[in-house]
Structure 1
Amino acid sequence: MTDEQKFLFDLNGFLVLEDVIPAHECEKIKEQIFKMKFNPALLPEEARYVPGGHLAQLINPPKVVAALNTLLGPHVRMDYGYVIWREKGGRHPMDLHHGGPTPEPMFRYFNSNGNIYSGMLRVVYEFNDVEAGDGGTCFLPGSHKSNYNVPQNMVSLNKGEQSPFLHHITCKKGSAIIFTENVAHGGPIWQNEDKPRVSAFFSYNHLGMQFHKPGFNTAVVNSLTPEQQQYFRPIWMYDFENDKPNF
Structure 2
Amino acid sequence: MTDHERYMFDLQGYLVIPDALSAEHLRELNALMDERVANDCEPDMRTHRWVHMLPWGEPYRRLIDLDSVRPYIEELVGSQFRLDHEYADITRAGKGPIGTSLHAGPVPFNPCFYYSCDGESFANGLIALVYNLKDVNEGDGGFGCMPGSHKSNNAMPKSMRELDDAHPRVDRVTGPAGSAVIFTEALIHGTLPWNGADERRTLFYKYSPHALSWAAGYYDADAFDDLTDAQRAALEAPNARYGGRVGPTYGGVNNG
CA gap 1:70/1:23 in 2 versus in 1, 3 angstroms: same
Does 1:7 find its partner at 2:7?
Answer: yes
Contact 1:92–1:186 under 8 Å retained in 2? no
Q: Residue 207 of structure 1 aligns with which residue?
A: 210
Aligned ranges 1:137-152 → 2 under 5 Å: 137-152=143-158
Counterpart check, 1:87 vs 2:85: no
* Per-residue deviation, 1:49: 4.6
Q: 2: CA distance between counterparts of 1:8 and 1:113? A: 12
How many Å apart are 1:33 and its aligned residue? 1.6
Deviation of the 1:101 alpha carbon: 3.0
- CA 1:217–1:199 in structure 2 vs 1: closer, same or farther (change >3 Å)? farther
Quick check: 1:51 aligned with 2:54?
yes
State the partner residue of 2:180.
Answer: 176
> Retained in 2: the 8 A contact 1:51–1:220?
no
Asked whether the equivalents of residues 221 and 229 of structure 1 are also in contact (C-alpha less than 8 Å), the reply is no
Aligned positions of 1:208-247 closer than 5 A? 208-214=211-217, 216=219, 220-239=223-242, 244=244
Partners of 2:114 and 2:222 lie apart in 1 by: 33
Q: In the alignment, is the contact (CA less than 8 A) between 1:139 and 1:186 conserved in 2?
A: yes
Tell me the distance in 2 between the aligned counterparts of 1:224 and 1:190: 35
Q: RMSD of aligned C-alpha atoms?
A: 2.1
Structure 1 residues 5 and 220 mapped into 2: Cα distance closer, same or farther (>3 Å)?
farther
Change (3 A) 1:144 1:100: same
Q: Counterparts of 1:227 and 1:85 in 2: how far apart (Å)?
A: 29
Does residue 187 (structure 1) correspond to residue 199 (structure 2)? The answer is no
In structure 2, distance between residues paired with 1:220 and 1:87: 33
- Map of 1:74 onto structure 2: 79
Give the secondary-structure state (helix, strand or coil) at the position aligned to 2:214. Answer: coil
TM-score after normalising by structure 2 = 0.84
Whether 1:19 aligns to 2:12 is no
The amino acid that maps onto 1:191 is N
Report the Cα offset of residue 149 of structure 1. 0.5
The Cα shift of 1:96 comes to 0.4
Question: Is the 1:102–1:108 Cα contact (8 Å) retained in structure 2?
Answer: no
Secondary structure of the residue that 2:88 maps to in structure 1? strand
Kindly provide the CA deviation profile for residues 26-58 of structure 1, in whole angstroms up to 9, marking residues without a partner as x: 122112123224316xxxxxxx95124121221
Contact 2:84 2:218 in 1 (8 A): no
| 1:126 counterpart residue number | 132
Question: How far did 1:76 drift?
Answer: 0.4
**CA deviation after TM superposition for structure 1 residue 65, in Å:** 0.8
Aligned twin of 1:28 = 28
Residues 86 and 107 of structure 1, relative CA distance in 2, 3 Å threshold:
same
Which residue of 165, 169, 181 corresponds with 1:165? 169
Distance 1:238 1:129, change over 3 A: closer
Deviation at 1:220, TM superposition (A): 5.0
Moved more, 176-185 or 30-39: 30-39
Residue aligning to 1:39: 39
Gaps of 5+ in 1: 41-47
Identity over aligned pairs, percent: 28
Aligned-pair distance for 1:103? 3.4
The DSSP-based 3-state class of the residue aligned with 1:228 is: helix
Q: What is the rounded CA distance, in whole Å, between the counterparts of 2:177 and 2:127 in structure 1?
A: 20
Q: CA deviation at 1:99?
A: 2.1
* Gaps in structure 2 of 5+ consecutive residues: 41-50, 247-256
Mapped to 2, the partners of 1:197 and 1:12 lie a distance apart of 24
- How many residues are aligned here? 233
80-89 vs 4-13, which moves further: 80-89
